[in-house]
């Protein structure tokens, strides 16, 4: 079988797809080709009863756009949502608004949009990031758009479960209230992960496994059927990756 | 604020009531009944605004104002004016009719980098062309030259 090198984004897609459970209602927002591909792959592999709500998917039908979708999430009908951020800190706080002081920022971004509500009301949230650097994983975010969990809010439904990056899979440990390393990818050392993260991932005190090997079947579906489906929604991403 | 039914405390915000909403729809009739893209919040906008202008790709007979796979019906009671403008969503897309004009969006993004280049953009594409037809002719000729 011909096998070109596995791109880190392909590893991320496969790793995320394995976190998706059969029967879940799982949704993606804008600019989210990696989780969209993960949903399609999971549906093809082990989650045939998954309900993927991929923003922009011509196969999805809805009546009232984001109003209907946000309403669905607020009612607790969405099991899984995906977010990214410009900064994420050890506590699992995330920033989508500004770099620097909020009043005089070095960089101003479009902002949080519905991310705070989604992280609170979807049953769980998985983060995906297209880089893994100390600028992204910082000791403390410059602005908090949302948190990983907050027990002081009684109606909060969801927690952050995992964070997939191009270097590794992180997870949020609710007992510790901190992000820790879950598993590494083939060819990526613990040292490399630690050097590129601006806070301690609790690597020293325990054994960190490598992800289960990527199966030929997963790659074949990803580069075949999943790619075909994704191309209709994210043509630029697909031409960049494949 | 305390919810009078459950007794729980909630943060509340007042509704936004736009003076005017402008939406781009697939088709409409002369009375203002329209079919628009169901992925957007056009119906909500039309119901929230004091006045709503619907720009439509196509003017059709009242019996033909029927939603397809990705359309949603918005009643004339929410619409104050219909403007027939095929290609009216350019440089963004109109589902199933035309795609986003990526090259033009890039031109626009470049132009927004400073005041002077943005004024040049306005002159070339917005204030320059005498009407929408001429604007479309201009942007189409650029696509053909690529």
**Residues in chain B where the model's pLDDT stays below 70:** 144-146
Do the bridges between strand A98-100 and strand A94-95 make them parallel or antiparallel, or are there none, so unpaired?
A: unpaired
Residue A2, pLDDT above cutoff 60: no
Other Cβ atoms within 10 Å of A107 Cβ, number: 10
Alpha carbon distance A214, A5 (integer Å): 12
Peptide bond into A120 cis (omega under 30): no
Among A58, A67, A154, select the one facing B44 at the smallest CB separation. Answer: A67
> DSSP 3-state assignment of A200?
coil
Band the pLDDT of A8: cuts 50, 70, 90. Answer: very high
pTM: 0.90
Question: What's the gap in Å between the CA of A205 and the closest CA on chain B?
Answer: 42
- A 37-56 residues inside an 8 A Cβ radius of B: 55-56
Among A55, A64, A154, select the one facing B43 at the smallest CB separation. Answer: A64
Alpha carbon distance A150, B10 (integer Å): 16
pLDDT tens-digit map of A145-199: 999 999 888 889 999 999 999 999 999 999 999 999 999 999 999 999 999 999 9
- A 140-199 residues inside an 8 A Cβ radius of B: 154-155
pLDDT number for residue A154: 82
pLDDT tens-digit map of B17-37: 999 999 999 999 999 999 999
Name every chain A residue with its beta carbon within 8 A of the beta carbon of B42.
65
Question: What's the gap in Å between the CA of B131 and the closest CA on chain A?
Answer: 32
Q: In chain A, whose CA is at the least distance from the CA of B35?
A: A63
Q: Tell me if chain A has a CB within 8 Å of the CB of B9.
A: no
Q: In chain B, whose CA is at the least distance from the CA of A65?
A: B39
pLDDT tens-digit map of A77-112: 999 999 999 999 999 999 999 999 999 999 999 999
Q: Which token pair is A236?
A: 């630029």
pLDDT number for residue A3: 65
Sign for the CA dihedral angle at A90, A92, A98, A103 comes to negative
In this structure, the dihedral spanned by the alpha carbons of residues A212, A214, A218 and A223, taken in order and rounded to 10 degrees, is 150
What is the H or E stretch that residue A9 is in? helix A8-18
Query: Which one of A64, A153, A154 would you mutate to disrupt binding with B, by most B Cβ within 10 Å of its Cβ?
Result: A64
Supply the DSSP string of A10-77, one letter for each residue: HHHHHHHHHTPPTT-EEEE-TT-HHHHHHHHHHHHHT-TT-EEEETT-TT---SSHHHHHHHHHHTT-
Alpha carbon distance B13, B7 (integer Å): 18
DSSP-H helix ranges across A75-164: 115-121
Query: Which one of B2, B24, B39 would you mutate to disrupt binding with A, by most A Cβ within 10 Å of its Cβ?
Result: B39
Name every chain B residue with its beta carbon within 8 A of the beta carbon of A53.
none
């Amino acid at each position: 079988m011909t096998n070109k090198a596995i791109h880190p984004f392909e590893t991320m897609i496969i790793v995320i797809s394995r976190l998706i459970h059969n029967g879940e209602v799982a949704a993606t927002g804008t600019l989210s080709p990696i989780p969209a591909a993960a949903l399609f792959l999971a549906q093809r592999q082990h989650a045939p009863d998954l309900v993927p709500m991929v923003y922009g998917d011509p196969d999805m039908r809805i009546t009232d756009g984001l109003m209907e979708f946000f309403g669905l999430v607020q009612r607790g009908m969405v099991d899984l949502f995906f977010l990214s951020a410009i900064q994420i800190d050890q506590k699992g706080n995330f920033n989508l608004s500004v770099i620097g002081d909020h009043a005089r920022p070095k960089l101003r971004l479009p902002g949080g949009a519905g991310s705070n509500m989604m992280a609170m009301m979807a049953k769980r949230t998985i983060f995906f990031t297209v880089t893994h650097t100390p600028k992204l994983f910082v000791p403390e975010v410059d602005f908090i758009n949302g948190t990983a969990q907050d027990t002081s809010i009684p109606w909060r439904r969801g927690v952050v479960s995992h964070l997939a990056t191009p270097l590794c899979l992180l997870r949020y440990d609710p007992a510790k209230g901190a992000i820790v390393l879950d598993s590494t990818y083939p060819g990526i050392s613990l040292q490399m992960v630690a050097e590129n993260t601006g806070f301690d991932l609790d690597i020293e005190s325990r054994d960190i496994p490598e992800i289960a090997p990527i199966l030929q079947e997963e790659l074949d579906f990803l580069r075949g059927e999943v790619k075909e489906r994704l191309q209709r929604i994210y043509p630029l991403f697909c031409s960049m990756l494949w | 604020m305390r919810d009078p039914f459950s007794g729980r405390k909630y943060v509340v915000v007042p509704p936004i009531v736009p003076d005017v909403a402008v939406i781009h729809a697939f088709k409409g009739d002369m009375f203002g009944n329209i079919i628009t893209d169901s992925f957007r919040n056009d119906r909500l906008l039309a119901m929230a605004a004091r006045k709503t202008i619907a720009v439509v790709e196509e003017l059709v007979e009242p019996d033909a104002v029927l939603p397809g796979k990705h359309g949603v019906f918005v009643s004339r009671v929410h619409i104050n004016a219909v403007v027939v403008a095929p290609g009216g969503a350019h440089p963004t897309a109109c589902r199933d009719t035309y795609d986003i004009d990526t090259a033009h969006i890039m031109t626009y993004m470049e132009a927004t980098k400073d005041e002077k280049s943005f004024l040049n953009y306005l002159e070339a594409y917005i204030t320059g062309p005498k009407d929408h037809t001429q604007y479309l002719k201009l942007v189409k000729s650029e696509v053909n030259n690529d």
